[in-house]
Structure 1
Amino acid sequence: MTGAGKTTFISKVTGRTDLEIGHSLTSCTRDIQVIETKIDGQTVSFVDTPGFSDTHMSDTEVLQLIADYLAAAYKRDMKLSGIIYLHPISDTRVTHHATKNLQMFQKLTGEKNLKNVVLTTSMWDKVTPEEGTAREKELKDKFWRVLLAFEAKAVRYAGTTESAQRLVSQMLADNKPFYLQLQEEMGKDNKALRDTAAGREVMVELERLKKEHRREVKEMEDLLRNSAEENRNVVEALKEHYHGRLVELEKTLRDERTMNEEAVRSLRERIEDLESRGRCAVM
């Protein structure tokens, strides 16, 4: 998730201090970064992606970014060795964004690949041992139960270079290289992004958001019609809120249109467009 410490983890494990790391409520990883290092004599590439529920990008944009990268990797027969899913143990509760993030993650990865996932809790220095242990138990017993049943592993990350490298070394030793479900759906089956499991999840969410935004816009229109004209401050506040809801509705409709337009493009066209923008130069 956004703010879980993905870039910080990569900075620790690689020793790179020049990575842009976010220290505010807004997300910092706006594009995909690939950072290489040596671990146990082996060259390891870390792919740092924006999270779903990002502060700057919609889930549609994040999924398209990840899908483009994975499609190019599939074309080059480049497989993953594992996925580190970071969750801050300092979060006092599991939000709607967090559960939605997990659902998207499962659809993107595929059930058969969950055994290659390490569910990693971060930011243990921000909680007491008792608080952290209680939250960890809730994650395992409730929110991560299905993933753990499919042999995903739950690991604590202590925030140190040693802890990060130990986690990665174990993952490399345990896992065989694999393709994500999204890669196979788009590469082998030549499905449009909209028609993949992850894409369908996004389309369901877009439909939900569209209905919610339209309802909010209608409510704001009714409020504006019924507001007393003499209460200028109330009317101005309502207008500002109304325009904000309109912007959100337009963004959702634009994302839906983008997914539908993307469906008519072939995989070859998507990859050629990606290569022309130079995003695959790191691979």
Structure 2
Amino acid sequence: MTGSGKTTFIANATGRTDLKIGHNLTSCTQEIQIIETVLDGRTVRFVDTPGFSDTYLSDTEVLEMIADYLSAGYSKEMRLSGIIYLHPISDNRVTHHATKNLDMFRKLTGEKNLKNVILATSMWDKVTPEEGLNRELELKNKFWSIFIAFGAQYCRQNTSAKSAKQIASMLMDNEPFYLELQEEMGKDNKALKDTAAGREIMSQLSLLKEQQQRELTEMKEMLLRTAAEENKAALAALEEHYKKMMYGMEKTISDERRMNEEAARSSDEKIKELTERIHKLEKKGSCVVM
């Protein structure tokens, strides 16, 4: 998730001091970055992605960005050696966003690839040992139990370069693999919305749209009551909040449209490929029955 310390981890592992690291409540990484270094005499490339529940990007935009990168990697037969999922132990509770993102992460990765995942807790310097231990046990026994059952490893990550390099080294001898999302889009030629991760996003968008519609209806009723009471200050505040809610609804509809348009483009490309194949067969004098 945003704010879990992904870029800080990579800066520690690579020794890079020029990476933009966030130090406030807003997210910092707005695009995928590839940072290369040498560990134990081997070239290692870290892929730094924006997190889900980003400050500026919707989950749809983040997934599209990651999917584009993974699809390009699949076309060039570039596999991953592992994934590091960071969770700040300083969070005093696992939010709805966190559980939602875990579901998204599992579907994007695929159960068969969870053995190549390291679940790492960060920001141990911000909690007492007792607080950290209690949260760690809850994460492992409740929220991460499925991941660990499928072979994911767990470790703590402190702020040192040594810790980051040790965690990265744990993945370097893995057999390279494709994520489930890569195989769905590359091998099976699915549109993003039809992949497991895409279906999760579409389901979330549908639920979010229903919730926003209910809230907008309630807000309209409140605006009418406030207007009748002639409370200008309250009315102005409510109107401003209503505008923000409308923007949120428009963004949700836009994200839904983006996913559907992406699927339509994929269909058009398939039709184009099939048409070209038919033309080639016709030139060779073959007969195609459809």
Work out the number of aligned pairs and report it.
269
SS state at 1:171 partner = coil
The match for 1:4 is 4
- 1-side partners of 2:171 and 2:185: how far apart? 26
Which amino acid counterpart does residue 117 of structure 1 have in structure 2? V
Alignment of 1:267-282 (within 5 A): none
1:46 matched to which residue of 2? 46
| Inter-CA distance 137–3: structure 2 relative to 1 (3 Å threshold) | same
Q: Summarize deviations over 1:239-273 as a string: whole Å, max 9, x none.
A: 1111111110000000000000000223996xxxx
- Residue 229 of structure 1: CA displacement? 4.2
Q: Deviations for 1:121-145, whole angstroms, at most 9, x for unmatched residues?
A: 0011111111111100000000001
2:154 is paired with a residue whose SS is: strand
Q: Is residue 126 of structure 1 aligned with residue 117 of structure 2?
A: no
The equivalent residue for 2:16 is 16
Partners of 2:100 and 2:253 lie apart in 1 by: 20
Answering whether residue 181 of structure 2 is matched by residue 182 of structure 1, we say yes
Q: Does the aligned pair in 2 maintain the 1:12–1:164 contact within 8 Å?
A: yes
Of 260-269 and 249-258, deviating more is 260-269
Partner of 2:150: 150
Looking at structure 2, the residues matched to 192 and 230 of structure 1 have their Cα atoms a distance apart, in angstroms, of 52
Mapped partners of 1:170, 1:53: distance in 2: 28
Q: Which amino acid aligns with 2:154?
A: A
Q: What is the match of residue 202 of structure 1?
A: 201
RMSD: 1.4
> Per the alignment, do residues 197 and 54 of structure 1 end up closer, same or farther by CA in structure 2, a change over 3 Å counting?
same
Identify the residue that residue 275 of structure 1 maps to in structure 2.
none
- Aligned CA distance change for structure 1 residues 144 and 66 (closer, same or farther; 3 Å): same
Larger Rg: 2
Identity of aligned residues (%): 65
CA contact (8 A) 1:80 1:177 kept: yes
Q: Secondary structure at the match of 1:22?
A: coil
- The 2-side partners of 1:57 and 1:178 are apart by 28
Match of 1:220 in 2: 219
TM-score normalized by structure 2?
0.91
TM-score (ref. length: structure 1) = 0.93
DSSP 3-state at the match of 2:265: coil
Shift of 1:156: 0.5
SS in 1 for 2:66: helix
Equivalence for 2:55? 55
> Judging changes above 3 Å, is the alpha-carbon distance between structure 1 residues 140 and 268 closer, same or farther for their aligned structure 2 residues?
farther
Specify the SS of the correspondent of 2:37: strand
| Residues 210, 252 of structure 1: 8 Å contact kept | yes
Task: Give deviations 1:57-112, integer Å, cap 9, x for gaps.
Answer: 00000000000000000000000000000000010000011111101100100000
Instruction: Give the aligned residue type for 1:34.
Output: I
